[in-house]
C-alpha cells in the first residue's frame, strides 16, 4: 500500500509537477517534505543512526544543504558576511565564497537555502539582497536589491525565503505594494513580470509552484493572505485571508489533486482550499485550528497530514478529507518533519532527532538520538539524499547513515 501510494505520487509528479529546476533545493523534489528514498532503516539502533561525519565551521545560520553532482552546498554567516560553502561528500570544505552582508540582528545567520542550477547558485540575504553567483569561481553574475530596486520592505526577523527556480525563471516576493511578487530571468536578473499580489509584506514563506489542469500557479503566503498568481504572467488569480497576530507564515503550502493546504502558528491553524478547474478561484473546504505549525512544516501521506503545533505543543495527525484531528502526541517536542520510506523524520526544538512510525491510533518512535553538536536554535529542515540524513544545527552540518 505504501509503495503504491509513493508510486502514484511519483507518477503524478512527473506528469504535473511544477519545478523544472536542475535540483530541488527546499524540502524535497516537490517542496512538500517527501523524499523518494527506499531501503532505509525502519528502526534505528540504540543511540540513533551512525554519524558518518560532521563539519563544524559553517558560521551562523538556519539553512539546509543542497546536494548536486557530488557536492554539498549550504550557507552561513561569519563576521556579518554571508558565505556559500561547498563541501565534498565526506564533509571536507572545498571552497567558500562571500555573497553579501547577512542578517546579524535577532536570530543572526543565513536564512536562504541556496538554489543550485548548473554552475549557478542563487541566494538572498536577510537584508533582501538577491545574488546569482558562479559557485565554481565565486564570481557574482548579477545582483538585485529587492527593497530598493523594487518597493519591498524588510520584516521583523529579516527577509526569509528559499528561492524557487523553474526552468529559466526565478520567483521571489519583495513584498511591495506594487511589486509584491516578481519573476526574473535567472541568467541575467531581468524582470519577466511583476505582480501586485496581495500588496502586503512578505511573511517568511517559501513559495510553491503547481501545475493545476495545465495552468502553472505560484502559491505563497504573504502577511495576511494566501496568494495565488499565474506563474506565466503574474496575474492575481485569487486571495484567501489567513492572518495571525504576528503576521508570520513560514510554511510552504501543500498541494494535492486540486486542493491546497496552508497553515501557520500562534494559534492560527490550517485551511484546506479547493481550486476550481481554471485555478482562478478557491473555496474553503475545512479549517483545523489544532495543528498550528509555526515553522517546522507538515507532510501529507496516505490521506493524513502530520506535523507539530506551536501553541498546541503536540504532534498531530489530521484527516486530509475531513480536517478532523485523529490523534496527538507529546512523546517528543515540536519541530520540523519530513517523510521517507514509511517513516517520519522529526527534528525538534530541543535537539531530539527521531524516527517515527505513524499508525492508525498513534505515533510509535522507532529510534531517537540527541543533536549535541552545533549552535543556537534547532530550526533547520532535514534533508535526505542517497541514504544519508543531513542535519544542520547552527555552525554544524552532520551526516547520518540511515540506509540498511
pLDDT of 180 > 50? The answer is yes
> What does the pLDDT average to over 29-41?
96
Lowest pLDDT segment from 13-27, 164-178, 194-208, 261-275: 13-27
pLDDT tens figures, 277-323: 999 999 999 999 999 999 999 999 999 999 999 999 999 999 999 99
Report the percentage of the chain scoring pLDDT > 90: 93
pLDDT tens figures, 76-124: 999 999 999 999 999 999 999 999 999 999 999 999 999 999 999 999 9
> What does the pLDDT average to over 324-329?
98
Distances from the Cα of 35 to the Cα of 252, 320, 361, angstroms: 16, 20, 24
Report the percentage of the chain scoring pLDDT > 70: 94
pLDDT of 329 > 90? The answer is yes
- Pairing relation of β-strands 335-340 and 34-35? parallel
pLDDT of 146 > 70? The answer is yes
User: What is residue 292's three-state secondary structure?
Assistant: coil
Whole-angstrom distance, CA of residue 76 vs CA of residue 118: 21
Q: Domains, the chain, ranges and CATH?
A: 2-401 (2.130.10.10)
Distances from the Cα of 294 to the Cα of 267, 310, 336, angstroms: 9, 5, 9
pTM: 0.94
**DSSP output for 53-115:** EEE----BB----EEETTEEEEEEEETTEEEEEEEETTS-EEEEEEEEE---SSS-SB--PPE
pLDDT at 24: 55
pLDDT at 8: 39
pLDDT tens figures, 37-89: 999 999 999 999 999 999 999 999 999 999 999 999 999 999 999 999 999 99
Whole-angstrom distance, CA of residue 18 vs CA of residue 14: 9
pLDDT of 18 > 80? The answer is no
Cell numbers at 188, concatenated: 541575467
pLDDT tens figures, 203-258: 999 999 999 999 999 999 999 999 999 999 999 999 999 999 999 999 999 999 99
Amino acid at each position: 500500500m505504501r509503495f503504491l501510494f509513493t508510486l502514484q505520487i511519483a507518477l503524478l509528479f512527473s506528469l504535473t509537477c511544477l519545478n523544472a529546476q536542475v535540483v530541488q533545493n527546499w524540502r524535497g523534489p516537490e517542496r512538500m517534505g517527501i523524499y523518494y528514498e527506499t531501503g532505509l532503516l525502519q528502526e534505528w539502533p540504540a543511540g540513533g543512526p551512525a554519524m558518518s561525519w560532521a563539519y563544524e565551521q559553517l558560521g551562523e545560520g538556519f539553512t539546509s544543504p543542497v546536494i548536486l553532482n557530488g557536492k554539498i552546498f549550504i550557507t552561513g554567516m561569519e563576521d556579518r558576511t554571508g558565505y556559500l560553502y561547498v563541501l565534498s561528500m565526506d564533509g571536507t570544505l572545498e571552497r567558500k565564497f562571500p555573497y553579501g552582508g547577512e542578517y546579524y540582528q535577532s536570530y543572526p545567520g543565513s536564512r536562504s537555502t541556496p538554489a543550485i542550477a548548473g554552475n549557478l547558485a542563487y541566494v538572498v540575504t536577510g537584508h533582501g539582497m538577491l545574488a546569482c553567483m558562479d559557485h565554481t569561481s565565486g564570481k557574482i553574475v548579477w545582483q538585485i536589491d529587492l527593497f530598493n530596486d523594487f518597493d519591498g520592505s524588510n520584516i521583523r526577523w529579516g527577509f526569509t525565503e528559499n528561492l524557487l527556480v523553474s526552468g529559466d525563471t526565478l520567483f521571489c516576493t519583495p513584498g511591495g505594494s506594487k511589486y509584491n511578487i516578481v519573476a526574473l530571468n535567472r541568467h541575467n536578473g531581468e524582470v519577466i513580470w511583476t505582480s501586485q499580489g496581495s500588496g502586503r509584506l512578505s511573511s517568511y514563506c517559501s513559495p510553491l509552484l503547481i501545475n493545476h489542469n495545465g495552468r502553472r500557479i505560484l502559491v505563497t503566503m504573504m502577511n495576511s493572505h494566501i496568494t495565488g498568481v499565474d506563474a506565466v504572467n503574474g496575474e492575481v488569480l485569487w486571495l484567501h485571508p489567513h492572518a495571525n497576530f504576528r503576521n508570520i507564515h513560514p510554511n510552504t503550502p501543500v498541494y494535492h489533486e486540486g486542493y491546497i493546504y496552508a497553515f501557520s502558528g500562534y494559534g492560527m491553524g490550517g485551511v484546506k482550499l479547493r481550486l476550481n478547474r481554471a485555478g482562478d478561484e478557491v473555496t474553503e473546504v475545512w479549517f483545523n485550528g489544532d495543528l498550528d505549525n509555526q515553522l517546522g512544516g507538515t507532510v501529507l501521506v496516505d490521506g493524513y497530514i502530520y506535523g507539530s503545533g506551536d501553541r498546541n505543543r503536540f504532534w498531530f495527525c489530521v484527516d486530509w478529507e475531513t480536517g478532523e484531528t485523529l490523534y496527538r502526541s507529546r512523546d517528543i517536542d515540536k519541530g520540523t518533519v519530513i517523510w521517507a520510506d514509511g517513516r517520519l523524520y522529526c527534528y525538534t526544538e530541543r535537539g531530539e532527532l527521531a524516527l517515527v512510525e505513524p499508525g492508525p491510533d498513534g505515533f510509535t518512535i522507532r529510534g531517537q538520538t540527541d543533536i549535541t553538536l552545533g549552535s543556537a536554535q534547532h530550526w533547520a529542515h532535514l534533508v535526505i539524499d542517497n541514504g544519508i540524513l543531513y542535519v544542520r544545527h547552527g555552525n554544524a552540518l552532520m551526516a547520518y547513515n540511515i540506509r540498511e
